[in-house]
Copies of this chain bind each other. A is one copy, B any other.
Amino acid sequence: MRFTSEQRLDDGVLEREFTLGEIPGILWTPASASAPVPLILISPPPLGLRKMYPRLAGRARYYAAKYGFAAATIELPGSGDRPRWAAAEQARADLRRAVEAGEPVGDEIIDALVLPLVEKSVPEWQATLDALLSLPVIGGPVGYEGGVISIGVRLAVVEPRISAAGFFAGSFVPRSMFEEARQVSIPLQVLLQWDDEGNDRQAALDLFDAFGSKEKTLHANMGGHTGVPQFELDAGARFFARHLK
């Protein structure tokens, strides 16, 4: 992990860009931390860190400044300036075509779109976690939130260092993920936008039902995909504050 820039922000948060091999990322830490702090991994949607920076930095700085957590994000494979791969481009084109034609999005398209992304990104998140946990400022425990829900589901199953997760039930989910969801046992808080134009409400409720976790909470709010109310930021932080001690 190599830090490429460092900036002390006016809310007392230290923002550092880094690269881990080919993967660019950003780390936010409370500059005044005197003991190692818990860590939130903030997984971005597959739209590129540059585009998502305001939203990601807003969440991370809130966690760092108000709750004393570190927070980090990395560019997903195939997003931002990272190399695309042909099968993903094809799946994206198929998805666009189906949506524009008003057709249902078939399982093959969803599998082709999501499963390779899960396969590629989960080990990257694990390598990032290795590197972050070796920094003196970061002690753990570790929470995970956001992004493509299937990546979070797989990580929650395979990565024992993640203690709690906040998911956003707002993306296409391969059928096989429902089986994996049953194996998730960490505390979850799941956001659902009730009128999400790109997401089937019943499928989201079924996925929530499938999670094996004994403590799981669904927060459903009105509005479309991008309409998550501002107050859910603090509700998410409080969820992590309960579990990352």
B-binding residues in A (CB < 8 A): 194, 205, 208-209, 213-222, 229, 231, 234-235, 238, 242
Residue of B nearest to A242 (CB): B231
- Counted per complex, copies of this chain come to 2
- Which residue of B has the minimal Cβ distance to A190? B220
5 A-B residue pairs with Cβ-Cβ distance under 8 Å, sorted by A, are A205-B205, A213-B222, A217-B219, A218-B221, A235-B238
Q: Are A218 and B219 in contact (CB under 8 A)?
A: yes
In chain B, what residue has the closest Cβ to A211? B222
Q: How far is the CA of A98 from the CA of B229 in the complex (A)?
A: 42
Contact B222 A215, beta carbon cutoff 8 Å: yes
| Contact residues in B for A238 (Cβ distance below 8 Å) | 231, 234-235
Q: Are B222 and A220 in contact (CB under 8 A)?
A: no
New A-B pairs, 14, CB < 8 Å, besides A216-B221, A217-B219, A220-B220: A205-B205, A208-B220, A215-B222, A215-B229, A217-B220, A218-B218, A218-B219, A218-B220, A218-B221, A231-B238, A231-B242, A234-B238, A235-B235, A235-B238
Chain B positions within 8 Å of A231 at CB level: 238, 242
Whether A216 pairs with B208 at a CB distance below 8 angstroms is no
Cα–Cα, bound, A234→B235 (Å): 10
- Inter-chain contacts of A219 with B (CB < 8 A): 217-219
| Shortest beta-carbon distance from A165 to chain B in Å | 15
Partner of A222, one of B194, B216, B221, B235: B216
Roughly how many angstroms separate A115 CA and B74 CA in the complex, as a whole number? 56
The answer for the CA separation of A235 and B229 in the assembled complex, in Å, is 15
